[in-house]
Structure 1
């Protein structure tokens, strides 16, 4: 099977929220949609699935126009769209076995009972549940239920598959297994898919394109690697695991508050006089102690910082798999370091520190102008 191209411009108006987003996926392409909670991801997928009314715009799937608004209005019912939505909950029929759940989807789409049964057996094998078809959902783990739900969805040969954070309710190890299964099956079936997620691992491992949705608007889109390498917003930078600090370039020097860096000739020529974001890894920043235990004492006793150095105040410390992430203010950045180094410095919220950042570790990215 091969999915159809999906093209949409979606506008939904609510009391305190407006979604206005464009989305495009080539046949067989997987597009990830990322955004903070409340950005409109689920609403967008709901419109594509036919569960949420379109206020303005259109939804096209292959050669078919499924929705159009406001006039002349067109709306295709969810069952006639050729689109399947799979969410966080598998929503399996509790009274049916895993095999019967999968076969049900094929029967609804016109397959005979023997054909549906044979294809359900095939899909149980494809999702790693061979021999478990007689079990009901209550006898399956969360990950196994999600595998059955995926098999039921793909068995119907949808023109497009919508995945609304399907791994959120799973533990890390199970989510990794189901993610690998998703990748294998979406690749094998060449199903067009839209994956709404909070997790950059989902975008990297499943998708070729990434759409960043914030406050109902698309703030960045493009190939996954490009969006994560040059994030256009603080949210996108956080997803990519990068710091993004907006400053300005003047005469070969980038500045933001107390932080100043050499911009370099090329950057200076291209970006001089404009807002520019400095993008860098948390591990690129060095932390050193300063004289004085209070902010006032540090300002009075610390020597004048050199280019690429500045004084900052620790706001909080977070545990990471590799050690400690130190959050600082003015400007707000994250610094990664081994836990032993954080203990050696005696870091704690409110403590002043000296930060160092080499210009060679920074990528300067022009800040896009406001959207009309």
Structure 2
């Protein structure tokens, strides 16, 4: 049985969203994509805030939207769907307890039942004893906890989360993420989570849908999508390099880069267009004898399997050291800060990169 089944087509000037999203009862699906991919528009259609140009939205056995004919459009308040965004949007003149109780009262609960349920939800989200505080007296993380409690207290048929952790600092986001996981699991809520953070997908969802330029480029179980990214965006999210090439003579090639599979079972057949996927930490890096690109090319030996010349474009700080970005082709290399200092790396310098056989996986294109 599918709790949520939607085919969404929205036409805007210079943009078209055409995506299918499904979720089983109690399933959490993450939606990832770059800015402008259509994530918020997709959630807006599901919530009833954006009109369909074509397609349908079904929730259980109810037809919420259809277009263009027959035209059906259910108002947001009658959908059984709650949208929680980056801003908690609490009523500023009501206390935390009153904000939660308001949602329950709006769904028909008596004053006494709503008050008791609000007390219970304050305890569940870790705000026991803080119910009398108004939003201005709460931190951003606490406000988001109240908003989550208000959303889940009404037992919605589906919960939509539009990057709810973006405005929080890393530590608070981690706490709220853990709370989300616990409460979504405990309530067996069907949820769609739009996010830009792979940690959200890994921690909250069982399936991942990647949306780019208004279309779905990959979907599947979170681990499978991140392990075999179909696009450079997904590879970047997964923290992997992805370089497209083809197989010639039993070896993968891209211009002057030649790689071999670690074993015969993983080697693609000749003529196959594939992407080489590998971790930035698996790439070795050394300075060349010359400090200019033309000088490095002149001194470079003939093509060596698993080694190639590249140019440094920029250096980025990472939690574990330094990430070196290179081009020809675009490859990221992770190394410790002291190793980066030892090499004296800087934008524009030529470097020699190395990748051992077996450190790359080959993913067929398309």
Sort the TM-score into its range (normalised by shorter chain).
over 0.9
Q: Matched residue of 2:97: which SS? A: helix
Which residue of 1 is the match for residue 351 of structure 2?
A: 353
**Whole-angstrom distance in 2 between the partners of 1:362 and 1:19:** 34
Alpha-carbon distance in 1 for matches of 2:96, 2:280:
46
Q: Residues 334-353 of structure 1 correspond to what in structure 2 (within 5 A)? A: 334-353=332-351
Distance 1:302 1:190 in 2: 59
Write the distance in 1 (CA, Å) between the matches of 2:269 and 2:60: 42
Offset at residue 305 of structure 1 (A):
4.5
Which position in structure 2 is the counterpart of 1:185?
A: 183
Aligned residues: 365
SS at match of 2:171: helix
Partner of 2:279: 281
Alignment-derived partner of residue 232 in structure 2: 234
User: What is the rounded CA distance, in whole Å, between the counterparts of 2:97 and 2:217 in structure 1?
Assistant: 42
Structure 1: segments with no counterpart, 5+ residues? none
- 2:30 corresponds, among 22, 29, 32, to 32
Correspondences of 1:1-372 after superposition (within 5 Å)? 5-263=3-261, 265-268=264-267, 270-368=268-366
> How many angstroms apart in 1 are the aligned matches of 2:189 and 2:55?
24
Q: Separation in 1 of the partners of 2:238 and 2:90?
A: 34
CA drift of 1:304 comes to: 3.2
CA contact (8 A) 1:271 1:366 kept: no
Take 2:61 and 2:145, find their aligned partners in 1: how far apart are those partners?
31
List structure 1 runs of 4+ shifted beyond 6 angstroms: none
TM superposition shift of 1:359: 2.0
Deviations 1:187-235 (A, max 9, x none): 0000000000000000000000000000000000000000000000000
Does the aligned pair in 2 maintain the 1:4–1:28 contact within 8 Å? no
Contact 1:252 1:267 in 2 (8 A): no
Q: Is the 8 A contact 1:33 1:212 kept in 2?
A: yes
* SS of corresponding position for 1:360: coil
- Superposed CA deviations along residues 27-75 of structure 1, whole A, max 9, x for unmatched, are 0000000000000000000000000001100000011010000001000
Q: Does the Cα contact within 8 Å between 1:4 and 1:160 map onto a contact in 2?
A: no
Q: Name the CA distance, whole Å, in 2 between partners of 1:363 and 1:265.
A: 12
Secondary structure of the structure 2 residue equivalent to 1:84: strand
Shift of 1:358: 1.0
Q: Displacement of 1:250 after TM fit?
A: 1.7
Judge conservation of contact 1:326–1:336 (CA < 8 Å) in 2: yes
In the alignment, structure 2 segments of 5+ residues that lack a partner are none
| TM-score normalised to structure 2 length | 0.98
Question: Cα distance, 1:120 vs. partner?
Answer: 0.2
Could you tell me how far apart the structure 2 residues matched to 1:58 and 1:105 are?
A: 27
Give the conservation status (yes or no) of the 8 Å contact 1:21–1:217: yes
Task: Return the offset for 1:308.
Answer: 0.5
